[in-house]
Amino acid sequence: MPGERREAMVTLLFRLASVVFALLLTALVLVLVQAPPLEAFRLILKGAFGSPKKVADIFVIWIPLLLTSAGLLLTFHAGLWNIGIEGQIVLGAVFATGVLRYLQDTTIAPTLALILAFVAAALGGMIWALLSGVLKVYGGVNEIFSGLGLDFVAVTLVLYLIFGPWKRPGVGSMSGTEPFPRELWLPTLEKMRLSPWALALALVAWIMVIVLLQRSYFGLRLRAVGRNPRAAYLMMGLSPARLTLLAFAICGVFAGLAGAIQVTAVYHRLIPAISSGYGWLGLLVGMLVNYSPIWIGPVAWFFAMLNLGSIQLPIVLKVDSTLAGVLQGTLVYSFLLGEGIRMKWQQRRREIGESE
Amino acid sequence: MRVELRNIHKHFGPVHANAGITLTFEEGKIHGLLGENGAGKSTLMKILSGFYRPDDGEIYLDGQRVSFHHPADALRQGVGMLHQDPLDFPVMTVLENFMAGSPGGMVPDKRKARKSLKTLGEQFGFHLDPDATVASLTVGERQQLEILRLLWLGARVLIFDEPTTGISAQQKERLFQALRQLASEGRTIIFVTHKLYEVQELCDTAAVLRLGKLMGRRTAPYDLDDLVKLMFGRVLKMERKPAVPLGEPIFRVEDLAVESARVRIRNVYLEVRAGEVIGLAGMEGSGQRYLLRACAGLLRPTSGRVWFRGREMTGRSYLDFYQAGATYLPATRLEEGLLPGLRVADHLVLTRGSRGFFVNERHARDLAQEAIRTFNIRGRPDSMVEALSGGNQQRLLLSLLRPNLSLLFLEHPTRGLDMESTLWVWEQLLERCRQGTAIFFMSSDLDELLNYSDRILVFFAGQVSAPIPAEELDTESLGRLIGGYGFVPVEEAQTMSVGEAAHAR
């Protein structure tokens, strides 16, 4: 077993080196655009931790990101590239909005209305995910292509709704639909946008995915199908089709719930960019943590912090607003680079150690 | 070019893969390098071709001491190796592969390369279309391409690592011819194998390795028993399947037909009893796999009906067969049989005890520990399967089969295994027969088919014969049938009387 412990040490060292390398590279970029790097880092930290409200806002971003990342881990482990995740968030948001719009004029209890909205959102996300699944299983369509297509359809659908049937009185605008009455907002902490209910939901989803993937037969079967569907079918008698659909369905539910939270707790209406790109970011988180369910929590939180912290950066330092994206990208790439080098290195050692 | 290896040592962790091997390969001859799986043959040859560096020892080419840092290094000095799995680029064309690795700047001279490929190919009777993609070639043709490439790059010592695995009989014949021609032109040929008859047929000398050591060197003609003793330390022979009392009929097909562009299998009537072994013989690609897959529910037959354990299973999927107690064991272990990235313990849990919601880690380890012990697998419960050696993967695959299987379909159960492992595999399979498992297996090894089958179905050019009792056949007659001499497809045989069919054979 000492070999394994050494391997874990090597992994950790490589990861730390990646982070240091990323910071240096980022500093270089900042120097190139003539912004003081240390000041920039300070501003990011201030932007994220400057006040209790800001800290709470980290969690506002973290919640939907964690939900989507958790869902994506299931599809990742089933060997699927669920690129349709953005569309699944959007459909969740659309279904939630639809239900709330319908119920806001009735006398139904607000709590019940919200619950129904969340159920509908889960359903919406699931349907959208299952479309990709069905196309793959029965039509042989790669989920990357169908997902990408369905993402576009979802975004178009939202624009149609905002400027068409659900437009504000008068003319529709990019600012979204008419906000819901206050009693249909998901309850949040005083003067903050953070909802304890949403937080609880995200944590439950996270724990569920950890348990499923690390302890359950279902998770093991999912991984079996993800690693080698043919062998899982022949040797284990598993049905790759069914497990693929299940993974898509659960991921869709989580994404739909993230959409519902965006609608009911953050924006209180449907807006064109309702997903905030958390689907894409979730894919990134999943890959970065090497599909480890425990690590999506801290890493998603780190990205949430970075996202929030760099909002102020362009304004204060007078640099282009895309700089925040550059910083994130640099970080991700140097991390992946480090991982790549590490795996190559470890694989070579393993090959030498175990051939013959 | 004369090759001398002096006192070569190589360690992999605790394994002493080469323990002081000294060997000379004279030019103009074909040298066999014999040994069972894991004897250290491949390691030694990888050292000679620059893939590995020896821990100790020296290499001399024509008396000059050399040391290689890289395979390209070795090739520059005239040593080239053909690997067991061709190391080529499937999406590129034959010509592009041919040119890969050739020195010559940014703009390769395509026209010259094309000409060289053609002339070299003609010398050896290899007819390769330069513009076909490598993915469309057979393993044998890929080998031919690789030989031409190495020759073009100036190889004077050619190492072949188990080159006859997975190629057709004709391609093997052509390969052997090419090797003889290469040797007669003064090149040094080293032929790594564990098949004795190939050494006997082809090689001028034979060096035998066992457990990393050189056990002896012989020159043709050989005493086979002597070589076997050197390889295994004792004499090994395939035994005929002992008479197992056959049980109830458990599998039956009626009027089964499988047809595609290349296959015309029709009128198959077969009833298989518990404990019976059915061999599917024929050249690679003659239709065996189609019938095997159709019987297992992996392929939808064109027509016909199937019963398994008293239930009609016509049109059912493989999963239904699996649940009713059948398993299909594919030939490619890592591609179709195992789950890379998962542990040995995970594999056992997935095939055995999935009771309840949570995986019981202790139970999983116990299962794995037991499989490792009974199936003699060199590995730990938490070893990843891709880290196991080929022989151990095969053993693991067998250990995954559920107890009390009723029906087992096997593709080439012992392909690539040495005699000792082959015997061991069949020991396991026959033990299952005694417990009532019926076995269907396809193989290209005549001895294996004749010794272990009760009845044999012969395939030729996409057609199938009526089942023939194995005791009515010998190597020669079976070999002829496989080659199409006296072969009678079942649909025609049906119109003849039994006596006539036997006579036609």
* Reported confidence tier of residue A355, pLDDT bands at 50, 70, 90: very low
Residues of A in contact with B387 (CB under 8 A): 350, 354
A287-291, B42-46, B199-203, B393-397: least confidently modelled range: A287-291
- Nearest by CB: A234 against B328, B341, B356: B328
What is the reported pLDDT for B354?
65
Q: Do B43 and A217 touch (CB under 8 A)?
A: no
Same domain, residue pair B25 and B102:
yes
Q: Is the pLDDT of residue B108 over 50?
A: yes
**H-state helical runs in B220-360:** 224-232, 288-295, 318-323, 344-351
CB contact A351 to B (< 8 Å): no
Q: Do A235 and B400 touch (CB under 8 A)?
A: yes
Number of inter-chain CB pairs under 8 A, A vs B: 92
What is the reported pLDDT for B103?
66
Same domain, residue pair B193 and B110:
yes
Residue B344 in domain: no
Q: Is the pLDDT of residue B105 over 70?
A: no
In the numeric block, which tokens belong to residue B244?
């197992």
Q: Do B346 and A234 touch (CB under 8 A)?
A: no
DSSP letter, residue B2: -
| Distant-in-sequence, close-in-space partners of B282: CB < 8 Å, separation ≥ 6 | B288, B442, B444, B458, B459, B460, B482
State the amino acid at position B123 in one-letter form. Q
DSSP letter, residue B402: P
CB-CB contact of B401 with B437 (8 Å): no
Query: What distance in Å separates residue A241's CA from the closest CA in chain B?
Result: 12
Pairing of strands B3-12, B15-25: antiparallel
Q: Do A216 and B357 touch (CB under 8 A)?
A: yes
Distance (Å, whole) CA B31 – CA B188: 8
Query: What distance in Å separates residue A229's CA from the closest CA in chain B?
Result: 8
Q: Do B319 and A239 touch (CB under 8 A)?
A: yes
**B217-238: buried (b, 16+ CB within 10 Å) or exposed (e) per residue?**
ebeeebeeeebbbbbbeeebee
Residue B171 in domain: yes
CB-CB contact of B398 with B428 (8 Å): yes
Q: Is the pLDDT of residue B494 over 70?
A: no
Which chain A residue has its CA at the smallest distance from B328's CA? A234
Across residues B229-244, what is the average pLDDT? 74
Residue A344 in domain: no
Chain-centre distance for alpha carbon A237: 32
Residues of B in contact with A352 (CB under 8 A): 12, 52
Residue B385 in domain: no
Q: Do A353 and B12 touch (CB under 8 A)?
A: yes
Residue A88 in domain: yes
Same domain, residue pair B162 and B257:
no
Name the residue range of residue B74's domain.
3-232
Burial class (CB in 10 A: 0-12, 13-18, 19+), A131: buried
- Nearest by CB: A356 against B15, B327, B357: B15
Across residues A90-95, what is the average pLDDT? 97
CB contact A223 to B (< 8 Å): yes
Burial class (CB in 10 A: 0-12, 13-18, 19+), A347: exposed
Chain-centre distance for alpha carbon A161: 24
Containing H/E element for B499? Answer: helix B498-504
CB-CB contact of A335 with A288 (8 Å): yes
Which of B83, B209, B350, B408 is the best substitution to test chain A (most A C-beta atoms within 10 A)?
B350
Q: Do A220 and B349 touch (CB under 8 A)?
A: yes
Residue A277 in domain: yes
CB-CB contact of B69 with B91 (8 Å): no
Q: Can you state the angle between helices A217-227 and B344-351, rounded to 10 degrees?
A: 110
Task: Kindly report the CATH number assigned to the domain that includes residue B8.
Answer: 3.40.50.300
Pairing of strands B205-210, B468-469: unpaired
A213-222, B4-13, B100-109, B292-301: least confidently modelled range: B100-109
Across residues B348-370, what is the average pLDDT? 86
What is the reported pLDDT for A356?
37
Residue A219 in domain: yes
Residue with tokens 């070589």: B227
Residue A89 in domain: yes
Residue A350 in domain: no
> If you compute the radius of gyration of chain B from its CA atoms, what whole number of angstroms results?
25
Which of A214, A234, A292, A349 is the best substitution to test chain B (most B C-beta atoms within 10 A)?
A234
Across residues B66-82, what is the average pLDDT? 89
CB contact A8 to B (< 8 Å): no
Query: What distance in Å separates residue B384's CA from the closest CA in chain A?
Result: 11
Residues of B contacting chain A (CB within 8 angstroms): 12-13, 15, 17, 38, 40, 42-43, 52, 318-319, 322-323, 327-330, 335-342, 346-347, 349-351, 354, 356-359, 387, 389, 397, 400
Which of A343, A350, A356 is the best substitution to test chain B (most B C-beta atoms within 10 A)?
A356
CB contact A227 to B (< 8 Å): yes
Residues of B in contact with A353 (CB under 8 A): 12-13
Q: Of A64-73, B119-128, B195-204, B406-415, which has the strongest mean pLDDT?
A: A64-73
Of all residues in chain B, what percent carry a pLDDT higher than 70?
93
Q: Do A215 and B397 touch (CB under 8 A)?
A: no
Name the residue range of residue A247's domain.
61-308
CB-CB contact of A328 with A288 (8 Å): no
Distance (Å, whole) CA B103 – CA B451: 52
State the amino acid at position B386 in one-letter form. E
Query: What distance in Å separates residue A305's CA from the closest CA in chain B?
Result: 33
CB contact A232 to B (< 8 Å): yes
Distance (Å, whole) CA B159 – CA B192: 8
Burial class (CB in 10 A: 0-12, 13-18, 19+), B464: buried
Residue B258 in domain: yes
Same domain, residue pair B163 and B71:
yes
**Among the listed residues B244, B291, B284, the one whose alpha carbon sits nearest the alpha carbon of residue B433:** B244
Helix/strand/coil for B470: helix
User: Residue B168: CA atoms inside 13 Å, Cβ hemisphere, count?
Assistant: 15
Overall domain count for chain A: 1
- Nearest by CB: B342 against A217, A224, A234: A224
Task: Kindly report the CATH number assigned to the domain that includes residue A290.
Answer: 1.10.3470
Same domain, residue pair B293 and B421:
yes
Q: Which domain-ending residue is among B232, B262, B285? A: B232
Distance (Å, whole) CA A222 – CA A207: 17
- Nearest by CB: B338 against A231, A353, A355: A231
A13-22, A240-249, B311-320: least confidently modelled range: A13-22
Residues of B in contact with A238 (CB under 8 A): 350
What's the whole-number average pLDDT of chain A? 89
Q: Do B12 and A233 touch (CB under 8 A)?
A: no
Backbone angles phi, psi at A140, to 5 degrees: 70, 20
Same domain, residue pair B114 and B210:
yes
Q: Is the pLDDT of residue B452 over 90?
A: yes
CA end-to-end span of chain B: 50
Q: Do A230 and B336 touch (CB under 8 A)?
A: yes
Helix/strand/coil for B253: strand
Residues of B in contact with A354 (CB under 8 A): 12-13, 387, 389
Report angle CA A250, A253, A259 to the nearest 5 degrees: 150
Q: Is the pLDDT of residue B26 over 90?
A: yes
Same domain, residue pair B173 and B100:
yes
Which of B53, B342, B388, B400 is the best substitution to test chain A (most A C-beta atoms within 10 A)?
B342
Helix/strand/coil for B10: strand
Residue A34 in domain: no
Residue B431 in domain: yes
Whole-angstrom CA distances from A304 to A194, A299, B160, B435 are 13, 9, 57, 61
Query: What distance in Å separates residue B40's CA from the closest CA in chain A?
Result: 7
In the numeric block, which tokens belong to residue B436?
């009532």
Across residues A196-222, what is the average pLDDT? 95
A148-162, B99-113, B252-266, B423-437: least confidently modelled range: B99-113
| Distant-in-sequence, close-in-space partners of B122: CB < 8 Å, separation ≥ 6 | none
- Nearest by CB: B337 against A220, A227, A235: A235
CB contact A228 to B (< 8 Å): yes
In the numeric block, which tokens belong to residue A63?
């919640």
Overall domain count for chain B: 2
* Reported confidence tier of residue A251, pLDDT bands at 50, 70, 90: very high
Residues of B in contact with A227 (CB under 8 A): 339-342
Residue A75 in domain: yes
Whole-angstrom CA distances from B442 to A21, A27, A322, B12, B282 are 56, 64, 62, 36, 8
Q: Is the pLDDT of residue B497 over 50?
A: no
Q: Which domain-ending residue is among B181, B197, B232? A: B232
Q: Which domain-ending residue is among B182, B200, B232? A: B232
Across residues A40-53, what is the average pLDDT? 88
Q: Do A227 and B340 touch (CB under 8 A)?
A: yes
Across residues A17-38, what is the average pLDDT? 84
Strand locations in B261-365, DSSP E?
264-273, 277-282, 303-308, 311-312, 326-329
SS3 assignment for chain A = CHHHHHHHHHHHHHHHHHHHHHHHHHHHHHHHCCCCHHHHHHHHHHHHHCCHHHHHHHHHHHHHHHHHHHHHHHHHHCCCCCCCHHHHHHHHHHHHHHHHHHHCCCCCCHHHHHHHHHHHHHHHHHHHHHHHHHHHHHHCCCHHHHHHHHHHHHHHHHHHHHHCCCCCCCCCCCCCCCCCCHHHCCCCCCCCCCCHHHHHHHHHHHHHHHHHHHHEHHHHHHHHHHHCHHHHHHHHCCCHHHHHHHHHHHHHHHHHHHHHHHHHHHHCCCCCCCCCCHHHHHHHHHHHCCCCHHHHHHHHHHHHHHHHHCCCHHHHHCCCCCHHHHHHHHHHHHHHHHHHHHHHHHHHHHHHHHCC
Which is higher by pLDDT, A209 or B355? A209
